Amino acid sequence: ALAIDRQQMNENFLGLLKNDFNTLINYSLLAIILTIIVFFRNFELTVLTMFPIVLTGVVTAGILYFLGLELNIFSTVVCTLVFGVGDDFSIFLTQAMQKEHTTGKNELPTYRTSIILAVFTTILSIGSLIFAKHPALHSLALVALIGMFSVIIITSTLYPFWFRLLITNRAKKGLSPVTFRLFFNAVLSFLYYGIGGLLFSAIGSFFVKRSKGKTLNFIKLILAKFLTSVLYTNPFVKKKLIKNPNEDFSRPAVIIANHTSFLDTLALAMTTHKIIYLVNDWVYNSPVFGKIVRALGFYPVSQGIENGMEKLREKVDQGYSLVVFPEAERSYTNDIKRFHKGAFYIAEEFGLDVVPVYIHGNSEVQPKGDFIIYDGSITVKVGDRIDKNDERFGKNYSERTKKINAFFREQFAKFRSELEDENYFKKKLFLSYLYKDNEVVQEVKEDFNKNKSVYFELNKHIPKDANILHIADDFGQKDVLLTLQQASRRIFSLMKDEEKRQIAEQIYLVKRRKIKYIKNSTEIDKKIDVLLVADESFKADTLADLPETVIFLNVKNTLTENNNYTLKFSSDSLKVFSSE
């Protein structure tokens, strides 16, 4: 006789079925992730697409637990259907949001309507089983209804909110899209800086007030090392200090530097620790490092330089140099703005030399208005000391302000030319097209890699403050490069292709640079200095008035028959004509 335990056999069967089902679920989830990665070719978009699916699972499981319902084999099978539908909806929404980010067109209502209709028909078909008398069918329908309602709420509301918050809205504010790595690197650096600043304010300020001489000098050295160490929390940012063999800061001076970023103060700490900063109120009164700033004798410029001359003179007599950002505020670009007179007034009153320090890279690494620290390089160069009696820079502080301003601009331009090669703005350019349609991203990358040497040469033939009429047939990448290279340029970009024009208009740098996309030449409101032709179908001779410089980029049409223009430069891809 053979005895069979039917209950044990059923439990074993269901256990094996459950294990097989869980294994298949894991395999299918992995397959979905790989498929989405291949489709979008972007890790962040993959995570955002998977977010509603995971959240739907958590919400559904939570509601079932709250209602006291247990998952059985039938309801588990239905869950896979719900997650599959949620996966489809997430992909559709990602495409809609990506299209909006690329072209500016809001196609979300169309996709949302389609999704709601699909959910509604699914609910009608499966939800009708809620009226079934069999417990298994009733449970199946209940799980399906809970899951489908979770899907529709999460995908149609929360998902678009997060996508716009993290990607679309940043571009509309003129901020670059970011990756998860950039975000976490920035958070790590600022946490380190914030915690360190609090500790220095709480502990360091106590010792500073009671220290003099070598002890105070040692504390300042430690603080300078800490400020410099903040820069080293990000391994994707290269740091370099170019010292001046003739400058050791043993003699007090007024140190002037260009100002584009929050990181400028940290970068200056690489040069010397024997400095006193003239700072803004938000630094002086900061809850993070305000105490240590006040204890070290930093001076708030809002109180007026005249009112602080005695305090500053005391610091100078102790051997400290004074750090002033003569532009008075941070700039959004790497252009050197007009210098204010304060730094040079102090130098004249105290009989101090002026030491220029050139900071390169911070305008790209951590631009004004953004907390993200981008990949790049920071280079600090200590310039030659300008003697207080050197009359080449003027006889009084008013004259010296203007002449040193011009000198600083000239030297910084040379410094930039030494550091910025054809690949310097590559990462910045590619970030401008992050999360846009794959076809657009791929074409921009291929175009840059193919023509980067040509674009680098092109920059040399266009003045830094030129008004440019660009006859374009791209996605705006040439306009981005030209204004990254020189922010003072104003570009009127004429595109026949409406879709390409819409894509170019959505680039975040359009909000920060002087770029205007036009449909016809009547929209030009400035005198054009340079005509840049990059569209093969355009005929330059059709324009009534040609500017002084006409440049042909990767096109065959030229001005060979125009006797008023002389060919100034020629290569296979670039032709530069001038009427001068």
Cα(140)–Cα(568) distance, integer angstroms: 78
Q: Look at residue 330 in the predicted model and tell me its pLDDT.
A: 87
Residue 370 CA, chain-centre distance (Å), reads 7
The CATH code of the domain at 428-578 is: 3.40.50.150
Stretch(es) of the chain classified as CATH 3.40.50.150: 428-578
What string of DSSP letters covers 342-360? HHHHHHHHHT-EEEEEEEE
Neighbours of 544 (CB within 10 A): 6
Q: In which region does residue 567 sit, left (phi positive, over 0), alpha (psi from -120 to 50) or beta (all else)?
A: beta
DSSP collapsed to 3 states, 247-305: CCCCCCEEEEECCCCCCHHHHHCCCCCCEEEEECHHHHCCCCCHHHHHHCCCEEHHHCC
Q: Which of 463, 433, 446 is nearest to 532 (CA)?
A: 463
Answer yes or no: are the C-beta atoms of 392 and 264 closer than 8 Å: no
Stretch(es) of the chain classified as CATH 3.40.1130: 180-419
* Residue 219, both tokens: 């504390």
Residue 445 CA, chain-centre distance (Å), reads 18
DSSP collapsed to 3 states, 497-532: CHHHHHHHHCCHHHHCCEEEEECCHHHCCCCCCEEE
Answer yes or no: are the C-beta atoms of 143 and 60 closer than 8 Å: yes
Cα(249)–Cα(458) distance, integer angstroms: 41
Which class is 14-172 in CATH? Answer: mainly alpha
Cα(408)–Cα(410) distance, integer angstroms: 5
Cα(359)–Cα(577) distance, integer angstroms: 35
DSSP 386: B
Cα(225)–Cα(231) distance, integer angstroms: 10
The CATH code of the domain at 180-419 is: 3.40.1130
Cα(539)–Cα(534) distance, integer angstroms: 11
pTM: 0.86
Neighbours of 299 (CB within 10 A): 22
Q: Look at residue 478 in the predicted model and tell me its pLDDT.
A: 96
Stretch(es) of the chain classified as CATH 1.20.1640.10: 14-172
Answer yes or no: are the C-beta atoms of 431 and 448 closer than 8 Å: no
Q: Look at residue 539 in the predicted model and tell me its pLDDT.
A: 80
Tokens 């036009």 -> residue: 518
Residue ranges of the chain with per-residue pLDDT less than 50: none
Cα(130)–Cα(138) distance, integer angstroms: 5
Helix axes 73-103 and 498-505, enclosed angle (nearest 10): 100
Q: Look at residue 347 in the predicted model and tell me its pLDDT.
A: 94
Interval 150-162: pLDDT, tens: 877 887 777 788 8
Cα(301)–Cα(551) distance, integer angstroms: 47
Sheet holding 321-324, edge to edge: 237-242, 376-382, 353-360, 253-257, 321-324, 275-279, 299-300
Interval 351-398: pLDDT, tens: 999 999 999 999 999 999 898 999 999 999 999 999 999 999 999 999
Q: HSE-up of 191 (CA within 13 Å, CB side)?
A: 7
Answer yes or no: are the C-beta atoms of 255 and 275 closer than 8 Å: yes
Cα(53)–Cα(89) distance, integer angstroms: 9
**Collapsing DSSP states into helix, strand and coil, what is residue 533?**
strand
Burial grade of 532 (CB within 10 A; 0-12, 13-18, 19 or more): buried
Q: Look at residue 211 in the predicted model and tell me its pLDDT.
A: 67
Rounded to a whole number of angstroms, the distance between the first and last alpha carbons of the chain is: 112
